[in-house]
Amino acid sequence: MALTPDTTTIGFVGIGVMGKSMAGHLLKAGYPVHVYNRTQAKAEDLIAAGAQWQDSPSALAQRCNCIITIVGFPRDVEDIYLGAAGIINQAHAGSVLIDMTTSKPSLARTIFTEAKKKGLAALDAPVSGGDLGAREARLSIMVGGEPSDFEAALPVFQVMGKNVVLQGPAGSGQHTKMANQIAIAANMMGVCEALAYAKKAGLDQETVLKSISGGAAGSWSLTNLAPRIIAGNYDPGFYVKHFIKDMGIALESAAEMKLETPSLSLAKSLYERLAAQGGNDLGTQGLYKLFS
């Protein structure tokens, strides 16, 4: 059965840079929404808009039939879903669990298997598009799981994103997100080096951007993040610390498949240098600081 506002109560765990906007869109679409976040203050705007606060993921899972999570790290996902007090053991049979965190494909498969034992559906559905995509409800959502569960959850996904694709069985969404992050990692190095080169050559960076963003060099990062770099805005649409986590997962998965990813290894080493200089909480465009 499709997860529509008249049949579905949503539980949303993780009210961060992206989660706050995503949960807000679901509220505006008419879904009853219950929220949990480790820091309740971050959820106050949603509560004021009509969301109901719950004191734990387990309490939330007991009151909702669609539970969405978007948290920081795989260990957070594991803590939230598995174990006696985890969502899988607390949710009612027939509920749909959707993890939108960028996490390990192997963990997504484990959650799927354990959920099935309890009569629950589970989808891994990481997203791309950053804070802007979340605010404008045009995220790219990459989904792994069973086709019937994907079809049931599609109305929920379509409230938050514009490009929603079932990639394959459990774990496929996470593998697709790894491919996405590999492409972004190499591209961000190029964006930063290009802007640094333009400045060193005595060019106006904004004028250069007008020429190269519409040509073969064009990319989402060049269009959306290069202007932030030029303006000296390094606020996070996506945190450096989370990007380093993602690159680590991608490198681990690539090694398991015996695939060489030299550009990914270089990008991770550069971001780790930035983090060591205090850049963990910058946006990914903060890599430019190493070149400026």
Q: Give the catalytic positions in this structure.
A: 177
Q: How far is it between the farthest Cα atoms of the chain?
A: 64
Spatial neighbors of 86 by CB under 8 A, at least 6 apart, are 57, 58, 79, 80
| Residues paired with 126 in a beta bridge | none
Given a contact cutoff of 8 angstroms between Cβ atoms, the answer to whether 144 and 108 are in contact is yes
Q: In sequence order, which ranges of the chain are alpha helices (DSSP H)?
A: 19-28, 44-48, 57-63, 74-81, 87-90, 105-117, 130-135, 147-160, 172-200, 205-212, 220-224, 226-230, 240-256, 262-274
Given a contact cutoff of 8 angstroms between Cβ atoms, the answer to whether 13 and 77 are in contact is no
Given a contact cutoff of 8 angstroms between Cβ atoms, the answer to whether 145 and 171 are in contact is no
From residue 119, alpha-carbon distances to 25, 29, 135 in Å are 28, 28, 33
Pairing state between β 52-53 and 33-36? parallel
- φ/ψ of 218, rounded to 5, equals -60, 145
Given a contact cutoff of 8 angstroms between Cβ atoms, the answer to whether 121 and 65 are in contact is no
Given a contact cutoff of 8 angstroms between Cβ atoms, the answer to whether 280 and 260 are in contact is no
The CA distance from 221 to 257, in Å, is 28
